[in-house]
Structure 1
Amino acid sequence: MPKFQINRRTVLKTGLATATTLAMPPILRAADQVKIGFLAPLTGSEAILGIVQLQCYQLAIDHLNAAGGIGGREIVSITEDDETNAKSTIDKTRKLVAKDEVDLVLGTLASFERTAALSVTSRAKKLFIYPTYYEGGDCSPYLINTGQVPNQQIDPLAEHLAGKSVYVIGHDYIWPRGSTEQLKAGLEARGGRLAGAEFMPFGVSDFGPSFAKVKQANPDVVAFMLVADDAITAVKQYHSFGMTQPLVFHAWDEVSLGAVTPAEQAGILSSQGYFQQIDSPANKTFTAAFAEKFGADKPINYIGASVYQTAMLYAKAVEKAGSVEPEKVVEAISQVEVDGPIGTMRVEAETHHAVLPNYLARVNDSAKLEILKSYEPKPPVAGCKL
């Protein structure tokens, strides 16, 4: 098999990138570089996810620079580890903004990281793009949210679970709580109900007490709203405690698949904006390029693919704006869209949130996620306006 080749024609044809140096505005020709600060949890409890974010980001920068950069300007990347820690996130964001003088801060994972980074970028009037699904409600002039919000990710689950009773076990922070409220409303609108919910701190090693509460409530379905290492622990323990209810886990993705046995995860239902099995030319080219760079055994998940496509959207917005000035890029980003591995991505001007597709998938007996249903790009219910 020939090695995967990336060139300008491939990039433009497949939607892997949208930048072109043709007829570039003079303001872009005059400068040499675009500086992007990438921030992700590369250590700590979320490192298993942050590393995939970084890999997909690196691939995006490779592709953009191979295609001529952004408006003919080379992208210079500065990566920082936020250590899954709010204080570290603030410190690293300050470095990127004040010392490195980046044009864009891209990344972070959990909501507390986003909030910490935004506390720095908003004061500095620096553009910050958050590519991860979250609970909604964060609208700011210099913040662009390209990840899913609950109506895009949770409503398809509620539709699938119509008439069922569901018990939620999640982490105790705003994303699981906000997602649970969306699920509760969606269930009740469809003849179902929330049978109970429990939220806990990071680092739980024994889910037995929680599973005992589930048995007492006796719901039709159990939904996990856990992330990273705790998610793996909970799934490993689920059947060993004699749990029999079907398991819904909308954060279960390709990174999770290799962490537990096929028997432990068979039947898990997940709802996300991307799965590696999406059958589209853009995704096939993307996954082939990822395998070429990082190895065919390395997984790609939604938050990784979203980082990749978000970088492409930023590149297109900068070229549309003819500038890296935050105000001009913010205005331009709602005037462009980009097709890529997750499908079509565009941003609403009134909320700075993205219109995005969704996919419902189930883990089969071979520990593969099979897509059951695809949903067309849906406008966000952001929970805020500018």
Structure 2
Amino acid sequence: MTTAKPENRRDPPPRPSRRRTPGHRCSSRPPALRVGLAIPLQGPAGLFGPSCEAVAELAVATMNTAGSVSPEVQVEVIDAGAPGHVVARQVDRLVSAGRIHALTGWHISAVREHVAPVTVGRIPYVYTSLYEGGESRPGVFCSGEVPDGQVAPALTWLRDQLGLRRWCVVGDDYVWPRASARHTRDFAHQLGLDITAEIFVRLGTRAFEPVIRAVRESAAQGVLLYLVGQDAVEFNRAFAAAGLDDTMVRFSPLMEENMLLASGPQATANLYVAAAYFRNLATAGALDLVADYVSLHGPGAPALNNAAESCYEGIMTLATLMRRTGCADVRCLTAHAEGAGFDGPRGPVQLVGNHLRQRVHLARADGLDFEVLGTL
């Protein structure tokens, strides 16, 4: 299939402000900054865990070697693949015991909904996953992609370049897919698209044959996937086995290199993805990240991917806020966060409100990797 490449339709994010807030003083500086890294080590998203941990190790080593943040940064891994209330209890215990002074990491929105109330007013929390948008609790900073900057422009491009106007939505049955599907209906109305079916499955589903039958009967030209980790892998395999990859396009805001590898090259034809980071993204920061990652962990390290790199962004966001204010106090960081930013693997990023503004790119799966087509 021959396709045109997207144009740079949006202005790039403004260059981040690195100034320290004039006259600001804060005494909240622990002897060592302990950051909780909440990442999935089990469940459908568990395949992201090893790469998230490896990238976080690189981010901490980079900061401590450069002395860019004082005091020294240490990480405590929290299994965010457990049920949300279990993760929240663990975070609460760690905060109460003074064992963590900040929290970051990639995990699903259902976990964030339990964890955020535990952190509000106590520690800064940088939530790194793409998500449905709308998080506004004080001290919670969101560094991942949101639907209006990720899904809407991708659907526009797929309409204009491939003529795709009829979509079937397939998602896991929890807050991110459900809320994102509501956003998708709004986008469809604005863009003149039809949502022919919405199908939601239990998180952790392995048998997708009934879903495939419903997709086949939906009269859709494309499938918009809001599936997590192994669920998306199982869907890709079943979709290809049914021969639908020859006649229908798939688009997902959550599909990274580990998921391609697990799906297999025979199951990734006509698959498009929108994200702020891909392993072969040609920014200076992305190339440096790959080189430093291989240097630290060797060529056999877990594959770099969007979920893992988001943990790097989360730690760098915390470091940027601390450099700006000179402290780790959540009220202080919140009061002086606006405009803080840095140049990283995703290029220039900047906090606007409590969300990190960033460029989003469209890519097409090419076997076990992605061909980045351009910036949306």
Candidates 300, 312, 327, aligned match of 2:331: 327
Deviation, 1:264, is: 1.1
* Pair 1:346 & 2:343 matched: no
3-state SS, counterpart of residue 333 of structure 1: coil
* Pair 1:269 & 2:272 matched: yes
* TM-score between both structures, scaled by the size of structure 2: 0.87
3-state SS, counterpart of residue 129 of structure 1: strand
* Pair 1:191 & 2:192 matched: yes
Cα offsets for 1:177-216 (capped at 9, x unmatched): 2222222222332222111111111122221111111222
Deviation, 1:28, is: 7.3
Letter in 2 for 1:36: V
* TM-score between both structures, scaled by the size of structure 1: 0.85
Cα separation, 2, equivalents of 1:30 and 1:181: 42
Cα separation, 1, equivalents of 2:373 and 2:63: 33
Letter in 2 for 1:283: A
Cα 1:26–1:215, aligned 2, differ >3 Å: closer, same or farther?
A: closer
Deviation, 1:91, is: 2.0
Gaps of 5+ in 2: 1-16, 19-23
Deviation, 1:359, is: 0.6
Residue 223 of structure 2: aligned partner: 222
Cα 1:30–1:134, aligned 2, differ >3 Å: closer, same or farther?
A: closer
Deviation, 1:348, is: 1.7
Cα 1:240–1:323, aligned 2, differ >3 Å: closer, same or farther?
A: same
Deviation, 1:307, is: 1.5
Deviation, 1:347, is: 1.2
3-state SS, counterpart of residue 197 of structure 1: strand
Letter in 1 for 2:345: P
Residue 14 of structure 1: aligned partner: none
Residue 13 of structure 2: aligned partner: none
Contact 2:126 2:317 in 1 (8 A): no
Cα separation, 2, equivalents of 1:304 and 1:28: 32
Contact 1:159 1:187 in 2 (8 A): no
Residue 112 of structure 2: aligned partner: 114
Once the two structures are superposed, the pairs formed by residues 119-198 of structure 1 within 5 Å of their partners are 119-122=117-120, 125-162=122-159, 164-198=165-199
Once the two structures are superposed, the pairs formed by residues 356-375 of structure 1 within 5 Å of their partners are 356-364=358-366, 366-375=367-376
Deviation, 1:69, is: 4.7
Letter in 2 for 1:94: D
Residue 98 of structure 1: aligned partner: 96
Once the two structures are superposed, the pairs formed by residues 72-87 of structure 1 within 5 Å of their partners are 72-87=70-85
Deviation, 1:108, is: 4.3
3-state SS, counterpart of residue 274 of structure 1: coil
Residue 237 of structure 2: aligned partner: 236
Cα separation, 1, equivalents of 2:94 and 2:37: 9
Residue 314 of structure 1: aligned partner: 318
Contact 1:135 1:149 in 2 (8 A): yes
Deviation, 1:29, is: 11
Residue 11 of structure 1: aligned partner: none
Residue 259 of structure 2: aligned partner: 256
Letter in 2 for 1:326: V
Identity of aligned residues (%): 22
3-state SS, counterpart of residue 328 of structure 2: coil
3-state SS, counterpart of residue 56 of structure 2: helix
Cα separation, 2, equivalents of 1:146 and 1:374: 18
3-state SS, counterpart of residue 269 of structure 1: strand
Cα separation, 2, equivalents of 1:104 and 1:196: 41
Cα separation, 2, equivalents of 1:92 and 1:212: 41
Cα separation, 2, equivalents of 1:126 and 1:226: 30
Aligned residues: 349
Cα offsets for 1:25-83 (capped at 9, x unmatched): 9867975322212111112322111332222211110100011151x321122222133
Cα offsets for 1:215-272 (capped at 9, x unmatched): 2222111122111111111111112123231222221111112112212112210111
Gaps of 5+ in 1: 1-17, 20-24, 376-386
Deviation, 1:84, is: 3.1
Letter in 2 for 1:127: P
Deviation, 1:328, is: 1.1
Cα offsets for 1:278-322 (capped at 9, x unmatched): 112111111111122233353112222122122112112112112
Letter in 1 for 2:358: L
3-state SS, counterpart of residue 191 of structure 2: coil
Residue 202 of structure 1: aligned partner: 203
Cα separation, 2, equivalents of 1:300 and 1:272: 14
Cα separation, 1, equivalents of 2:299 and 2:319: 27
Letter in 2 for 1:161: L
User: What's the Cα RMSD here?
Assistant: 2.2
